[in-house]
Amino acid sequence: MSAELLKHFISSLQQDVQRLDTLSQLLDQQYELMSRRSSEPLQQLNQQALELMTAVQHNHSARDSLLQQFGLPNTAAGLRQLVSRLPAPLQHGTRQLLQELTLKSRLCQAKNEKSGKLLASQRQLMQKLTGLQSRTSYPAMPL
């Protein structure tokens, strides 16, 4: 196991934890802007959130590649194997980073779902007020 690759792996975990902290704050702001129907600032905020999510996805893919370079599967089992092979001082810190990354990912997912429910209820209200027929499809969004 290359020390440099391992350092890069752990660094990418730290970066993603920070990115998810920022994303969590953006999702809170997004909900508020959606509640007030402030579309212009919402578009800017959505672009920032998309950039963060893209960076997290890129790091995740890079970590999958690193796991394969270490001869491990790019699965949760592969991560556990990697952590178990680390020197004792690194095991604890890496385990904590992985747990933090998981918790923050779930928090962001929950916040995103909350915003989705708000959007759906706003659409329903608008349809009732305007008398327009219900649309079940959403406009295409770049992901």
Residue 127 has pLDDT above 90, yes or no: no
Hey, is 123 helix, strand or coil? helix
Q: What is the DSSP letter of 86?
A: S
Residue 135 has pLDDT above 60, yes or no: no
- What gap in Å lies between CA 68 and CA 64, rounded to an integer? 6
pTM of this structure: 0.81
Q: What is the pLDDT of residue 142?
A: 58
Report residue 16's pLDDT band, with 50, 70 and 90 as the boundaries.
Answer: very high
* Nearest of 2, 5, 1, 17 to residue 93 by alpha carbon: 17
List, in order of start, the domains of the chain with CATH numbers: 3-119 (1.20.58.300)
Burial class of residue 107, CB neighbours in 10 A (0-12, 13-18, 19+)? middle
Top pLDDT among 126 and 58 is at 58
The structure tokens listed for 87 are: 């020197």
Residue 19 has pLDDT above 70, yes or no: yes
Phi-psi region of 20 (alpha: psi -120 to 50; beta: other; left: phi over 0): alpha
CB 64 within 8 A of CB 16: no
Q: What is the pLDDT of residue 38?
A: 86
CB 86 within 8 A of CB 94: yes
Collect all residues with Cβ–Cβ distance below 8 Å to 65 and sequence separation of at least 6. 74
